[in-house]
């Protein structure tokens, strides 16, 4: 599936707390393994980040958004 600007996690304006996303944690960067969760905090202050906006999930895990899955919970 080709990512569009709206499904991509590279734009901070697309990420809001409560959003369901797939993230890649630091320790999973080599394998590309993703973790699903709900955004609690946005940690990247830049408007755009090529590797994905860094977020903290409600589970406490931190990672870069790879894909936006759905609406707010």
**Which mean pLDDT values do the consecutive 10-residue runs of the chain (73 residues) have?**
62 95 95 96 95 96 94 69
Q: Is residue 3 part of a domain?
A: no
Residue 33 is assigned to a structural domain of this protein: yes
CATH of the domain at 52: 2.30.30
Residue 32 domain-assigned (yes or no): yes
Query: Is 27 inside a domain boundary?
Result: yes
Beta strands 54-57; 35-42: pairing state: antiparallel
pLDDT of res. 1: 43
The whole-model pTM stands at 0.85
Question: Is position 1 within any domain?
Answer: no
pLDDT at 8: 77
What are the E-state strand segments in 1-73?
Answer: 19-25, 35-42, 54-57, 62-72
What pLDDT was estimated at residue 3? 53
Domain count, the chain: 1
Residue 28: which domain range?
12-72
pLDDT at residue 2 in the model: 47
Are residues 22 and 4 in contact, defined by beta-carbon separation less than 8 angstroms? no
Does 5 map to a domain? no
């Amino acid at each position: 599936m080709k990512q569009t600007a709206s499904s991509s996690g590279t734009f901070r304006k697309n990420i809001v707390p409560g959003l369901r996303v797939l993230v890649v944690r630091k320790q999973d960067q080599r394998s590309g393994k993703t973790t699903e969760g709900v955004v609690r905090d946005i940690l990247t202050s830049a408007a755009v980040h090529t590797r994905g906006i860094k977020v903290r999930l409600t589970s406490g895990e931190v990672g870069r958004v790879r894909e936006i899955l759905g609406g707010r919970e």
